[in-house]
A and B are shown apart, each in its own frame.
Chain A
Amino acid sequence: MSIFIQLLINGLLLGGAYAIISIGLTLIFGVVRVVNFAHGEFLMIGMYAVWLLAQYAGLHPYASAVLVAILLFFFGALMQRLVIQPLLTADAHIQIFATVGVSTALLNLALMVFGADIRKAEVTLGTEQLLVGSLNFVSGQVITLVIAMAVAVGMHMFLKNTYTGRGFRALAQNRVSAALMGVNVNKAYVLAFGIGAGLVGLASGLLAVQYPVFPTVGQYFVLTAFVIVVLGGMGSLPGAVVGSLFIGLIDSLAGYYVGPALKEVVYFLVFLAILIVRPTGLFGLGRGSE
């Protein structure tokens, strides 16, 4: 029994790490309607920035998370303004290829600059073992989960209660009508992309405590994040959170009871089953949306 509870805990904690990445991805997905394949590389850049700040300025990743979030906000906003915006009216495939191009360029740039070595920020805060009865936790994972939930709630309030947030939601429903209702489409897109990327910056600070950084680190997380976003319903915030925890749990339970080699099989099967029953995902907007 204690193993089962430990597995549940491990799953939820892993879900926390996925959630913090997926929230930004689903925002970009939902509002800008662009599949951002460079999302993983944003995470990689963020983690390198965190590592550099830790190495040369002695900043703890948690402290630099805010700085890196701001940095990535501008990075994301620039990418929207310079890469995506000129392609807004182009075919969706073109936009996808543009983000794939950015992803490949960033990955190889990192290889050139940092090489393929792994780098790890040396910290103690966030790596402590917590022992409750026979159950083990790592403090950083708990912190990540808590912050992910707080960010999700914060984003939800922002989308619900502010003018900009309502603009985002209007855009998600229908770009043309939103423009007619007075939403500044280009400005909102730049902002949404920036916020999405900024959240990845926050994630970098949280994850750098647990994981080393290397050029392909983003791809390790982002494939799963894509699954989560589609599973939860593209553009749905609660969907991303529930999806993350769900995938985390499956990962942990299937890894133990089925075997680590087959855990992906299990969660892709569940993923397919859910899509067959609900093609728009768990919290999808339904067939009427754009």
Chain B
Amino acid sequence: MIKHLKQLTTALACLTVMAAAPTQAQDIKVGALYPFSGGLALLGDESFRGAEMAVEEKNANGGINGKKIVLVKADAVDANQAVGEARRLTSVENVSAIFGSYASGVSSAATQVTELAGVPYFELGAVADTITGRGFKYLFRSNATAKSFADRSIESIFKVIAPTLKVDPKALKIAIIYEDGPYGTLVGGFQKESAKQLGLNVVEAQAYSAKSVDLSSLVLRLKGSGADVVLQTSYQNDTLLFFRQSASAGYKPKAVIGAGGGYSLQETAQALGASIDGVFNVDFPQISMKEDGAPGLKSFVEAYQKRYGTQPRSGHSLVNYVGAKAFLEVMVDAKSSDKDKIRAAALAYKKPVGSSAAGWGFQFGENGQNQLASSNLMQWQGGKLLTVFPESVATAKPIVAK
């Protein structure tokens, strides 16, 4: 009996030590769930760099209440892998929170797992509005959503394009074209809705497959309908196809407005050459903004250059950096890795518009969505993507050829 009791105490002692071990560790583990391989890898990695920089900066300044933050990378190229990796992060790695995820499909799937596991998920870049529309308690999103992209593009017709052309916006013929995946249908759908509400004359609204190798018939339709302004939501290859085939069909709309994706990338501009000049694009804030409206932008770009040896490849790193930085502050405020304390700290976290390096403010709604994040209108001018609207962060004046 005594022997048994001894064994039991030893076992119990062991258990106590084992249970205590994680809390003794000086590190706070945070997951970084992005597509690091596969077709989304380029911008997935660019997004991760932003989160990585925010964490490194925080660690250099003493971490979270003296504890060092360790990023645990997880590669999620699609919804299936996202579920698997989210499970690994929450149950094997026991992370305190997860940063992610660039792609909306990845985010939607991963958050199903983290919500059940009660691990806070900080979304820094996925734009599908549905992600924060499911009543999740421990999901927070710092970035602007697809609806904001769509609204900004329609607003631009009223506030930038029509005034520069000196015409009534309702006299302009608008074409809305979008790739038929979740990204395109979401943005394109909101654009159609908002254009209708505001009484714009939409002459064509067409979806097409982003894997299409020929858009000449779509271009002929737009040409036939005489569309003045084309809103395209697309990836790289279809953006290129549209421009190349518009040129060969002799179709030249007065203005083209992209919605991020292929329109934001330097490689697209390189491949298109001179024909990208004057093209508009609505996207997350990019590095070409006025410092006044985006304090800390310059030092971010310098730090990025030093860390990775190149200029940021897109605005994704910036918004991920800004979002991650805010959420790390939320974790500091929460003074605990308890999910409810983190939620309370997130809901209490408020920063005015124009206070972050992306120009965003922070104020989280009950659904976890940041209500003070927005997108900007940019224009390719002389091979550079410059911000032209809103004026608080604009670095150039919009040019519309008459």
| Docked-complex contact B215 and A136, CB < 8 angstroms | no
Could you say which residues of chain B place their CB within 8 Å of the CB of A261? 180, 206-209
Expressed in whole angstroms, the Cα–Cα distance for A235 and B40 within the complex equals 35
Across the interface, do B214 and A14 meet the contact criterion of CB distance under 8 Å?
Answer: yes
- B271 contacts across to A, CB distance below 8 A: 118-120, 212
The reply to whether B248 and A256 form a contact with Cβ atoms under 8 Å apart is: no
Report, as a range, how many residues of chain B touch the other chain: 35 or more
Chain B's closest residue to A138 (CB) is: B248
Where chain B touches its partner, the secondary structure class is helix
- Asked whether B171 is an interface residue with its Cβ less than 8 Å from the other chain, the reply is no
What 0/1 readout, one digit per residue, does chain B (215-248) give for beta carbons within 8 Å of chain A? 1111011001000000000001100100010011
Are B220 and A111 in contact, CB atoms less than 8 angstroms apart? no
Contact status of A10 and B40, CB under 8 A, knowing A129-B248, A261-B207? no
- The answer on a CB contact under 8 Å between B216 and A10 is yes
Bound CA span A136–B251, Å: 11
Q: Contacts of A41 on B, CB cut-off 8 Å?
A: none
Q: Quote the shortest CB–CB distance from B389 to chain A (angstroms).
A: 28
B248 and A116 contacting across the interface, CB-CB below 8 Å: no
What is the chain A residue whose CB lies nearest that of B247?
A129
Known contacts A138-B248, A212-B240; is A260 also within 8 Å of B37 by CB? no
> Is there contact, CB below 8 Å, between A116 and B220?
no
Contact with A108, one of B37, B224, B250 (Cβ below 8 angstroms): B37
- On whether the beta carbons of A255 and B214 are closer than 8 Å, the reply is yes
Interface stretch among A23-31, A81-89, A155-163, A216-224? A216-224
Whether B207 contacts A260 by the Cβ 8 Å rule is yes
- Is A211 interfacial (CB 8 A cutoff)? yes
Tell me the minimal C-beta distance from B238 to chain A in angstroms.
10
- Distance of B142 from chain A, by nearest CB (Å): 24
CB-CB < 8 A to B240: which residues of A? 118, 120, 212
Q: Is the CB of A115 within 8 A of B220?
A: no
Q: Are A252 and B214 in contact (CB under 8 A)?
A: yes
What band does the interface of chain A fall in when counting residues whose beta carbon is under 8 Å from B? 35 or more
| Minimum CB distance partner of A215 in chain B | B39
Specify which chain B residues have a CB less than 8 angstroms from the CB of A129 in the assembled complex: 247-248
Which DSSP category, helix, strand, loop or mixed, fits chain A's interface?
A: helix
In the complex the two chains form, what is the Cα distance from A263 to B81 in whole Å?
31
Residues 350-389 of B contacting A (Cβ, < 8 Å): none
Tell whether, in the assembled complex, residue A118 and residue B268 are in contact, meaning their CB atoms are under 8 Å apart: yes
A6 interface residue per 8 A CB criterion: yes
Residue of B nearest to A212 (CB): B271
**A116→B250 contact, CB < 8 A:** no
Chain A minimum-CB-distance residue to B35: A116
Interface residues in A104-149 by Cβ distance below 8 A to B read 108, 111, 115-120, 122, 129, 136-138
- Once the chains are docked, how many angstroms separate the CA of A264 from the CA of B224? 22
What's the least CB distance linking A61 to chain B, in Å?
A: 14
Whether the pair B267, A117 counts as a contact (CB closer than 8 A) is: yes
Return A96 CB to nearest CB of chain B, in Å.
21
CA gap between A119 and B244 in the complex, in Å: 15
Q: B38 near A111 (CB under 8 angstroms)?
A: yes
- Tell me the nearest residue of chain A to B38, going by C-beta: A111
Flag if A214 contacts B236 (CB, 8 Å). Answer: yes
List 28 A-B pairs, Cβ < 8 Å. A6-B220, A10-B220, A17-B213, A108-B37, A108-B38, A116-B40, A116-B41, A118-B237, A118-B267, A118-B268, A210-B244, A211-B237, A212-B240, A214-B236, A220-B212, A224-B213, A254-B217, A255-B208, A255-B215, A255-B217, A256-B218, A260-B212, A260-B215, A260-B218, A261-B180, A261-B207, A263-B217, A264-B209
- List the interface of chain B (C-beta within 8 A of A): 37-43, 177, 180, 206-209, 211-218, 220-221, 224, 236-237, 240, 244, 247-250, 265, 267-268, 270-271, 273
List the interface of chain A (C-beta within 8 A of B). 3, 6-7, 10, 14, 17, 108, 111, 115-120, 122, 129, 136-138, 210-212, 214-217, 219-221, 223-224, 248, 251-256, 259-261, 263-264
